[in-house]
Amino acid sequence: MIKPKKLKPGDKVAAISLSWGGPGSFPHRYQAGKRQFTEEFGVEVVETSHALRDPAWLTEHPEARASDLMEAFADPSINGIVSTIGGEESIRLLPHIRGEVITSNPKVFLGYSDTTVSHLVCFRAGVVSFYGPAFMSGFAENAGMFPYMVNSVRKTCFRAAPVGVVYPSIDGWTVEHLHWGNQENQQRRRSLNPSLGWRFLQGTGKAEGRLIGGCLEVLDWVRGTSIWPEAAAFDEAILFLETSEGAAPPQTVTHALRTYAAMGILGRLSGILFGRPGGAVPIERFSQYDEAILQVVTEEEGLSHLPVVTNMDFGHTDPMFVLPYGVTAQIDCESQRFAILESAVVD
């Protein structure tokens, strides 16, 4: 995997709308994210040609969204690319993507949710990309960004040193949605639930592997397409999965893992990481997702040795930490620690 150059103050970062045209619907929310990101990291944010277009127009023109991505990677003045928001439209970019442009111009690419599609494009191109916050969610956090997230972005994207141990957020987490249509909500902090810690469900010793994964529902959409990773990509890999704000039920996790088992993926892995369930899932139901995972991994497939960690701080709850694709990580079951063993960027 080719690692991009680290971001640094003064760099130019492109904001891109690869799916839903969120900035066109709620411009004040996008501007809040742009301002907070710029002030915290000292970079210059510029928009790609169509990033701020009307959502309906963007829906009708996937070729324009793909063109923005190609131009942002090819532009030598652009040092990084950050998604404005997710959606459900990124898969329509695939006929218009040229992977060689990404391979030849590696740079930090950051986003999550539907951006899983573009991350797999980067993975196929052999370039490390970063599963993490977007401008309108994460960087636009109400009344200021979460320090936990800021620290992870800084350690992962702005420092050419091993990322090291990633700790659970101890200050709480949230999925509360304060409607973006009410601009007054931007100054209202979201309520936090107490941190419950991560759950190390099974496994012994230490397991290492390179990171691969994304949003569970989006991964389901891209199976069988040209960007689905080759079977060897899952050899001794650590698969990270999370569910979207649609609050997918535990059965969705069961069905996906059964499919991965049938594809021969589960038996190849070094470990599984599962993000805290997204959407309006009652906390008392979180254990049902754990049960769904163990039903397939342990009871049906007999992989009782495979480390499984759940309730982690990535995906569709906040704050989130950043996961770099293709970078080696470690699950230490004895000390119940997770670490990213190498740097994700270079000087």
Digit-coded pLDDT (tens) for 273-304:
999 999 999 999 999 999 999 999 999 999 99
Inside any domain, residue 170: no
Query: Pairing mode, if any, of strands 337-340 and 164-166?
Result: antiparallel
324-333 mean pLDDT: 98
Please check the confidence at residue 340 and state whether its pLDDT lies above 90. yes
Position 175 in a domain: no
Structure confidence at residue 82 as a pLDDT band (50, 70, 90): very high
Residue 215 lies in a domain: yes
Q: Which residues lie closer than 8 Å to 280 by C-beta, 6 or more apart?
A: 175, 247
Are 155 and 69 in a shared domain? yes
Chain-centroid distance of CA 39 in Å reads 22
What's the whole-number mean pLDDT along residues 197-225?
97
Is the Cβ–Cβ distance between 51 and 17 less than 8 Å?
A: yes
Last residue of a domain, one of 110, 129, 161: 161
What CATH number should be reported for the domain holding residue 51? Answer: 3.40.50.10740
Are 313 and 275 in contact by the 8 Å Cβ rule? The answer is yes
Q: Are residues 245 and 118 in the same domain?
A: no
Q: How far is CA 25 from CA 52, 57, 137, 162, in A?
A: 9, 12, 14, 39
For 34-75, how does the pLDDT look when each residue is reduced to its tens digit (9 = 90+)? 999 999 999 999 999 999 999 999 999 999 999 999 999 999
Cα 46 → chain centroid: 22
Same domain as 130, residue 33: yes
Say if residue 149 is in the same domain as residue 202: no
Asked if residue 5 belongs to a domain, the reply is: no
Number of domains in the chain: 2
The last residue of a domain, from among 127, 161, 195: 161
Task: Supply the pLDDT for residue 261.
Answer: 98
Q: Cis omega (within 30 of 0) on the bond before 55?
A: no
- Does 189 lie in the same domain as 239? yes
Mean pLDDT of 308-333: 98
Give the tokens for residue 154.
């800084």
Q: Are residues 223 and 275 in the same domain?
A: yes
Q: Do the beta carbons of residue 216 and residue 252 sit within 8 Å?
A: yes
Please report whether residue 236 resides in a domain. Answer: yes
Q: Are residues 243 and 156 in the same domain?
A: no
Domain membership of residue 3 (yes or no) is no
Residue 22 has pLDDT above 90, yes or no: yes
Q: Are residues 147 and 192 in the same domain?
A: no
CATH number, domain with residue 269? 3.50.30.60
199, amino acid identity: R
Report CA-CA distances (Å) from 238 to 128, 179, 249, 260, 334.
15, 35, 23, 13, 17
Cβ–Cβ < 8 Å for 339, 166: yes
**Whether 102 and 54 share a structural domain:** yes
Helices and strands in the chain, H and E counts:
10, 14
Mean pLDDT of the chain: 97
Predicted confidence at residue 196, as pLDDT, reads 86
- 149 and 212 fall within a common domain: no
Question: Is the residue at 214 inside a domain?
Answer: yes
> Is 322 found in the same domain as 236?
yes
Q: Which of 161, 195, 226 is the last residue of a domain?
A: 161
Residue 139, pLDDT above cutoff 90: yes
Q: Summarize the confidence of residues 179-183 as an average pLDDT.
A: 95
25 and 110 inside one domain: yes
Domain presence at residue 347: no
pLDDT in tens, 148-168: 999 999 999 999 999 999 999
- Domain extent at residue 238: 183-340
Calculate mean pLDDT across residues 247-256. Answer: 97
